[in-house]
Amino acid sequence: MKYAVLFGLLTTLGCTTMSPVKNALSSDDVKINRIMKDLPSHEVQVFFSEVVRDKNGQVSFKEDQFQVNDNNYFYPASSVKLPIAILALEKLNENKLLDRNTTYQIEGDSHTSTFSKDIIEIFAVSSNAASNRLFEFLGQDEINLRLNAKGIPARISHRLSTLNSDDLVTKSLSFYNDEEIILKTESLNNLAIAPLYLNLIKKGIGYTVGDSLVNQPMDFSDKNYLPISSLHGILKRLIFPELFPKDQQFHLSENDRQFLIHAMGILPREAGYITEDYYDSYDKFFVIGDSKNPIPEHLKIYNKVGYAYGYLTDCAYIVNSKTKKEYLITATIHVNKNKIYNDGIYEYDDVGIPFLAALGRQLVLEGH
């Protein structure tokens, strides 16, 4: 009932008295309306920052939030690849023998790569394999210690879409100069993962294991945890590091920081993925997610999305050259009508992505 009242207020209050996010959510766009009519099941959270530059170029933010609550659990999916990519370069910078273009190989894997190649694949097509390689370089303990030391609440416990994803022992890496090994890292033994105690940590009415249905809520207490405020804070630190104390910044070279931002904006076709399956919005939900048309020339979107278990999340820095405005938007939505997890039946394309696209258009294109 309280959500119905809230929806009524959003649709009747004058725009001049409302926040940018509430103004966007009060739109008559059907892609937004159908979510607002059933807020509890969709678990929407939105963090919005408009970038304000004064006459001297100093940056500040006009901030707005909707239902952001670090204690309400949602599954972050591939959005965790954003801090993993940043922290991998941060750690790499601490060894003078290496840089992001040094060839390396994971123990027991014949595949060779570089951090540059992996990071491009992470942002262009959300490669799980590339992210998992960087995970082996860091390990759970180091990821969490580095984030928490910067004042970023998070708990990363597992790799993505691979066997033994929560293995506490990482594999060693060998780094090469031509054919010569110049450094071999040690395998790391990470601490046991403590379960999360948060609201909404048990979800739905059932979940599948193989072909079997388990008729009880799915427990997410051992899964990755990266709340909206943390994702938004990570993006702010990357794009505008000067606004944070030194001990809360990511310790990156300016060259690596610019490379990361470039990678976040790269489109699949610009990374060599040219089949029709890899359209411009393949990994970008806000503004263009519900269209397979080319991205408008006046928009640049630097982002990382995540989707799994019915959760869709996007964390983006968006530049609109037509209006000369910049925005940071982080949002999540849940679409799992049958309340069964791990069955692959989610309303991503019909409900979730259209909502995030419409929300992005309201915030970025419509003005406020």
37-92 pLDDT, tens per residue? Answer: 999 999 999 999 999 999 999 999 999 999 999 999 999 999 999 999 999 999 99
Assign 3-class secondary structure to 103-114. Answer: EEEECCCCCEEC
pLDDT category at 367 given cuts 50, 70, 90 is low
Q: Are 36 and 295 in contact (CB under 8 A)?
A: no
Domain boundaries, the chain: 2-364
CB atoms within 10 A of CB 296: 14
pLDDT at position 232 over 70: yes
Contact 173, 187 (CB under 8 A): no
Q: What is the mean pLDDT of residues 8-29?
A: 71
- pLDDT tens-digit profile of 96-136? 999 999 999 999 999 999 999 999 999 999 999 999 999 99
Least confident of 95-99, 168-172, 192-196, 362-366: 362-366
Q: Among candidates 358, 363, 289, which has minimal Cα distance to 34? A: 358
Of 15-19, 190-194, 218-222, 341-345, give the lowest mean pLDDT range: 15-19
Q: Distance (Å, rounded) from C-alpha 13 to C-alpha 354?
A: 24
Q: What is the mean pLDDT of residues 352-356?
A: 98
Tell me, yes or no, if the pTM score tops 0.85: yes
β-partners of residue 184 are 174
**CATH T-level fold of 2-364:** Beta-lactamase (3.40.710)
Q: What is the mean pLDDT of the segment spanning 322-344? A: 98
What is the reported pLDDT for 12?
Answer: 38
Question: 2 pLDDT exceeds 80?
Answer: no
Q: What is the CB neighbour count within 10 angstroms for residue 242? A: 7
> Is residue 15's pLDDT more than 60?
no
Q: For residue 10, give both structure tokens.
A: 């959003």
Span 259-269, average pLDDT: 98
